[in-house]
Each structure stands twice: as structure tokens, then as C-alpha cells.
């Protein structure tokens, strides 16, 4: 079965712009989580969704937001981009909360 699909794979944006990243989980998976990975901070939890509800949020500013649709697909949005937002954004899905998570290949965001 298809894995976790993230689009786009690469993105270059200018400071101050906003960006939307997409994640399609494995079919049947209802839980989707998002992580930011940088060389300095490693993988940091952004938020998780289960059945269209945000269940948990990490310690990121309000410029980072997300949502989940009825088909479990998820999007995350970053507004007013800053240079420090440059990172690999990873999405992970699981059939239920607290279970084994499968990661997508990520979206590499570069802010210039």
C-alpha cells in the first residue's frame, strides 16, 4: 500500500510570505503528526490531528497552524515566514493515537 505522501518535496520562499504543505497519510490511518527537523534542534513536534481535531500542539508560535480533512489528509501552514523556518518538515501517520508512526519523505523548505 502507498506510504505517507508529502507535497511539495522542495520549496523556496521569501521572508514574509506564507506557505502551505500537504500530507496524505497511509490509507486507513486517522492520526497525523507534523515535525520540524533542523540540524541544530533535531526533530521537534509541531502538532497532531486525529479525526479532524487537533489533539496536541508543540511549542511553536501561532504562525504555525494546521488542519485535517475528513479523508485524514492534513495541511500545515506557516505565515510570515522567517529565515529560521528553513527546515525539513516531516509528516507521520498512524492508524490510532499513540501507535507506531510511519513518516513521509518530508518537504524541504528554504526561506531566503
Partner 1 sequence: EDKVVQSPLSLVVHEGDTVTLNCSYEVTNFRSLLWYKQEKKAPTFLFMLTSSGIEKKSGRLSSILDKKELFSILNITATQTGDSAVYLCAVGSGNTGKLIFGQGTTLQVKP
Query: Applying CB under 8 A, does 1 fall inside the site for partner 1?
Result: no
Assess contact for 71 and 78: CB atoms under 8 A.
Answer: no
Single out the residue of 63, 80, 69 nearest to residue 18, CA to CA: 80
Taking residue 15's Cβ as centre, other Cβ atoms within 10 Å add up to 11
**Cβ of residue 45: shortest distance to partner 1, in angstroms?**
5
Residues 6+ apart with CB under 8 A from 90: 6, 34, 35, 36, 37, 43, 103, 104, 106
| # binding residues, partner 1 (CB under 8 A) | 27
**Residue range at the interface with partner 1 (CB under 8 A); choices 16-24, 61-69, 79-87, 92-100:** 92-100
**Cβ of residue 53: shortest distance to partner 1, in angstroms?**
12
Assess contact for 14 and 110: CB atoms under 8 A.
Answer: no
Question: Residues 15 to 74: which contact partner 1 by CB under 8 A?
Answer: 31, 33, 35, 42-45, 48, 50, 55-56, 58
Contacts with partner 1 by CB under 8 A lie at: 3-4, 31, 33, 35, 42-45, 48, 50, 55-56, 58, 88, 90, 92, 94, 97-98, 100-106
Amino acid at each position: 500500500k502507498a506510504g505517507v505522501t508529502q507535497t511539495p518535496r522542495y520549496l523556496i520562499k521569501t521572508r514574509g510570505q506564507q506557505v502551505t504543505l500537504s500530507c496524505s497519510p497511509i490509507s486507513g490511518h486517522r492520526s497525523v503528526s507534523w515535525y520540524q527537523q533542523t540540524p541544530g534542534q533535531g526533530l521537534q513536534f509541531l502538532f497532531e490531528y486525529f479525526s479532524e481535531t487537533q489533539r496536541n500542539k508543540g511549542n511553536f508560535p501561532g504562525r504555525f497552524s494546521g488542519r485535517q480533512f475528513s479523508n485524514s489528509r492534513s495541511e500545515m501552514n506557516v505565515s510570515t515566514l522567517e529565515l529560521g523556518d528553513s527546515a525539513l518538515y516531516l509528516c507521520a501517520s498512524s492508524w490510532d493515537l499513540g501507535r507506531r508512526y510511519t513518516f513521509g519523505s518530508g518537504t524541504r523548505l528554504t526561506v531566503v
